[in-house]
A = this chain, B = another copy of it.
Amino acid sequence: MTYIAKPKVHHPALLKNAVGLIRRDYEGSITTLCAGCGHDSITAAIIQAFWELSIEPHKVAKLSGIGCSSKTPAYFLREAHGFNGVHGRMPALVAGANAANRDIIYIGVSGDGDSLSIGLGQLCHAIRRNVNVLYILENNGVYGLTKGQFSASADPGSLNKKGEANTMEAIDGCLLALTLGATFVGRGFSGDKAQLVPMLKAGLAHNGFAFIDVISPCVTFNDHEGSTKSYAYTRERNVEVVQADFVAPAAAITAQYDPGTVRNVLLHDGSWVRLRKIEEGYDPTDRDQTYAYIRERQKAGEVATGLLYLSPDSSDLHEQLNTVATPLVQLPYADLCPGSAELEKLQRRFR
């Protein structure tokens, strides 16, 4: 908390981070989204997170699908490569890019239509592969860009602008991710930057697929009375379960909290995530407890937020594939081609 609040104190806009960049250096082109769109707040949080982590923008690749949410990578990290692919297929693009160059920091931005409708299969399989990417699902319960149809995350009974009720079960991205064995599962709210920024940082540091579902109200099509993804509804119903602080590799951990309520998880890059459990007895490293807890809250009409689950041991795509440490794109051709002599030799097999 304090950690991320600090900058605010001394004129954040001008403050330089470890690589000598100010926050402005992490911005992109100006948004074309509706004024008040939740997605823009998430963009701001992303900018904040990268700046605080002092990551060189060009070491990052930002990918997305299609939708209002998927447009946002254009609005941050202007010095990073961006890829706005086709609808619902960003997970495949990230998996391929990551396979080719494991040294890049990948961030994927998607929407609930992009991820849970047309892209559901790809999302699920990217989770299974544990591709090393921070995956942000900007969740507003509707297809914003096509003018407000219900998405698969719309809750049963939730009303659209015309007053029609959604009849189908909602897909809860967090429950789904846990069921598929995700190694990092969080939920945020575009309106709560203080909670979101450290979660994003932990997700960037996580070695594997970091899934964060961010409730991000669509002011134009789903912010009305009767919507369960509106600002009002979310403010009222969201319960912060786990408060995550991110502690960079260097920094020491000063256990200034009652140990019973704190848990520090070491990430493979040497950084720490300090999970402060608001809820007594909640263990954010227990997949099944987490699942059960989210369901309980759901049944109580509440939305559990925070870094809900973090697997202490996560082996990403490359560990599973046992690929070399050097990014494949950097291997010299000489290491890849067996040469003519070997070709002559191996053909004995075909005689």
Q: When chains A and B are docked, how far (Å) is the Cα of A121 from the Cα of B171?
A: 12
Given contacts A120-B120, A121-B121, are A129 and B168 in contact (CB under 8 A)? yes
Q: Is A146 at the interface (CB under 8 A from chain B)?
A: no
Closest residue of B by beta carbon distance from A315 = B167
A292, CB-defined interface residue at 8 Å:
yes
Q: Which of B168, B320, B321 contacts A128 (CB 8 A)?
A: B168
Name the contact of A288 in the complex, choosing from B120, B127, B292 (C-beta under 8 A).
B292
The A123-138 residues at the B interface (CB cut-off 8 A) are 124-125, 127-130
Q: Determine how many copies of this chain the complex contains.
A: 2
Chain B residue with Cβ nearest A296:
B288
Within 8 Å CB of A167, what residues of B? 315, 320-321
Q: A181 within 8 Å of B by Cβ? A: yes
Render A214-250 as a binary contact track against B, CB cut-off 8 A, 1 for contact: 0000000000000000000000000000000000000
Across-interface contacts of A105 in B (CB, < 8 A): none
- Contact B168–A320 (Cβ < 8 Å): yes
Bound form: Cα–Cα A168–B292 in Å: 23
Chain A residues at the B interface, C-beta cutoff of 8 Å: 117-121, 124-125, 127-130, 152, 167-169, 171-172, 175-176, 179-181, 288, 291-292, 295, 315, 320-321
24 residue pairs bridging A and B, Cβ less than 8 Å apart: A117-B125, A119-B121, A120-B120, A120-B121, A120-B124, A121-B121, A124-B171, A125-B152, A127-B169, A128-B152, A128-B168, A128-B171, A129-B168, A130-B168, A130-B169, A167-B315, A169-B180, A169-B181, A175-B179, A176-B179, A179-B179, A288-B292, A288-B295, A291-B291
The list of the 9 closest CB pairs from A to B, nearest first, reads A169-B181, A121-B121, A167-B320, A120-B121, A179-B179, A128-B168, A175-B179, A128-B169, A288-B295
